[in-house]
Structure 1
């Protein structure tokens, strides 16, 4: 055993930074699709918005199940060397992710049917390899540290990286694309290539900088499966509640991101405002992320999570009624995005706690099944968030590159503000009434798990402690 108490072991600033770089790299490759792929489909490929929504729906449902397969793969690994159980997937899966992300922005003159089929296939390939990369990255946290405060720090660094990636894509993608005004399709491709290259660099940084200390192989009698990943959700009440809340919050966040480019162009008549809005609102998210560890230490994860949801909802309500000018839109958006910082950060801090809860309840530690069970709900949420804007744009009468009708403008305002606000309120009710895994109970669970292991007499040890200073890359 390690001479350090796992509950008090501190991580270095360098390792926390490296971990945060992983979600920076992930989001540089993911956010270009979240923010601009629907617009690329409608404005460059000439596809109806309804078709774009269907592509998101089909591809995201597919990747929800690939997340489950990733969990089975991770939990099936019993022999792993100094590179660790999770780290190899972070690096090696990043390359096909980058290739697929870039290929999605290649224009073509195929028929509508061929365009739709090719776009769906590329999105599915992107999702498949992104599952391998990102699920391994997230499931690695319990192997890095058992200290709940350090997990909160890692979650904050992760959300900081994700926010920075989203900020860079929001602020930088369209200006790069606009440099090719005579050939907009080429601009999309060049911008995508630039961002995925930076994303690959960040994933390599993460791979080299993190360390797996508590790596656990599954017992021979435990056979992972997709069904067990589903059961991991329903037999783990805190995880189930978190999945439901996250289903709402991620859908709300992605709807807002997908519609804001349309809102700034057609409602506020200032497409360049998108970069400024992204700069200030994402800056507010970064500020919120920096405050997460201190606020969690003082008030607890659940209370901070609920407070973030309330700020989010109030910001959207104010924007719906009074966000008709650029200044007020940016101001109220900053309030809403400041609230999302606490929500999105704590989503990742709460998942490792449910891993320990599952081990306490069942005796089996299954990071992969728990984490991918959770990401299954996120992908279902993302599928709905990608589908709904495409459907709603069609329903409100959106016409690409034209002056919009009054009904279409009202529909854009409802879609970017009222829908996310309503979903945030549902998430707050769910977490407030049903999430019971607080700090005191978590500490008692960890202590009981440790006590159990002291009295176990196993022929093969389950826990492998890596106490070396540096892993071989």
Structure 2
């Protein structure tokens, strides 16, 4: 058997810290950049939507291309760590540029917004892809990887939640001294806190899994990606979080019109932090239940909770938030399992192609996540139009109120049903992963049994 590589707790906390700091930026841009463009910078909603569309098209080219280049590089810091030294500085700088209000004509403002947003997405990938790829080289053990991914996902969700909780308060504080509603100074404070957290992650996190002995070319990385059949099943299930992303965008409308209090949106951020802490039990659960089975159970529980929420209504605020909190927990834990299973597929592809290409594998997660958020953002407008929502109205019709409640209850339930169905086709279990790790270790030592490799070739499939 291949030697197990245990990750020290201090290193896991540093991995958590990097994700926390990085997602201050992701949370700021993901939650507030659209409002900044339309209500602070003053460009039209159509112009902002066009910028987002162009950015996603560029991501489709850039993310896998950059990842393929990354897989061909080794440095004295390892395969991925050196990117985590320069990326924090780049992310901090470009996030501040994105929230800087320039005084110029409208065309220049649109060009500035477009360039800084696309640059942000490009530089964010230079951090996010190696950040997640690190989970595959910190250890070769599936259980230890789940611990690493849990720490990373805890940091990611805590970072996004902190951005949603603290940024509005900071912006309100600085607004009285600025002409940009306090956005730039609030972003500066958040990123000055996030920067040392990311740099500490670079200093503390270690790579332990050796790269492939053979030289990896860019052509090899794309061949490796095509051979990684289990990865595509996981990414498809991840993409269908799009229904939950639509619900996330509808919450503010629901709280304003159905509940009569838009400030309740802050509770979503608080629930995210609480759910992220509870997700620390994920490694314990995966020691007793296969990841695939646990993923499907969680999707089923989310469907059940959303159904109860629909029939219970929203007259009882406490019950509503308990159910929303449970749903947040279930979905967040499936995303932890997603990242852990993606890391395990790296050995699957390495076994079949003789090349280890972690970055191109995790670029799939980065791009799919961006695409799911972008499609979800576009569908919010479509959904609001379909239910007859009237912008800036004091009240909405009963049909619109029912539609908004449907959007936060049953629409995500449909997404979880689809995710459950997709994951049912995934068959690359922990047992098969452990066997592949053993054979890879023997292959590196030159002691592999060809009969074992031929036997394993048959059952190790994605579906």
Give the TM-score normalised by structure 2. 0.87
Match of 1:265 in 2: 256
**Residue 208 of structure 1: how far off its partner (Å):** 0.8
Q: Is 1:294 the counterpart of 2:279 in the alignment?
A: no
Q: Distance in 1 between matches of 2:416 and 2:403?
A: 19
Contact 2:87 2:123 (8 Å CA) reproduced = yes
Alignment map for 1:1-400 (pairs within 5 Å): 7-78=3-74, 80-81=75-76, 83-108=77-102, 113-180=107-174, 185-216=180-211, 219-220=214-215, 222-225=216-219, 229=221, 231-249=223-241, 251-287=242-278, 289-321=279-311, 322-324=313-315, 326-393=317-384
**Residue 204 of structure 1: how far off its partner (Å):** 0.6
**CA distance 1:263–1:200, shift in 2 (3 Å):** farther
Unaligned runs of 5+ residues in structure 2 are: 449-463
Q: Distance in 2 between matches of 1:404 and 1:121?
A: 38
1:420 to 412, 434, 454: 412
Contact 1:34 1:254 (8 Å CA) reproduced = no
Q: Distance in 1 between matches of 2:370 and 2:213?
A: 26
**CA distance 1:176–1:324, shift in 2 (3 Å):** farther
**Residue 49 of structure 1: how far off its partner (Å):** 4.3
Q: Distance in 1 between matches of 2:116 and 2:23?
A: 18
Q: 3-state DSSP class of the match of 1:365?
A: coil
Q: Distance in 2 between matches of 1:56 and 1:400?
A: 21
Q: String of CA shifts for 1:435-472, please: whole Å, max 9, x gaps.
A: 00111111111112222223279xxxxxxxxxxxxxxx
Q: How many residues are matched?
A: 445
**Residue 363 of structure 1: how far off its partner (Å):** 1.5
More displaced stretch, 236-245 vs 185-194: 185-194
Match of 2:422 in 1: 430
Q: Is 1:442 the counterpart of 2:433 in the alignment?
A: yes
**Residue 392 of structure 1: how far off its partner (Å):** 4.1
**CA distance 1:157–1:70, shift in 2 (3 Å):** same
Q: CA RMSD in A?
A: 2.7
Match of 1:469 in 2: none
Contact 1:61 1:383 (8 Å CA) reproduced = no
**Residue 74 of structure 1: how far off its partner (Å):** 1.1
Unaligned runs of 5+ residues in structure 1 are: 458-473
Q: String of CA shifts for 1:136-162, please: whole Å, max 9, x gaps.
A: 111122221111111010011111111
Q: Distance in 2 between matches of 1:106 and 1:398?
A: 32
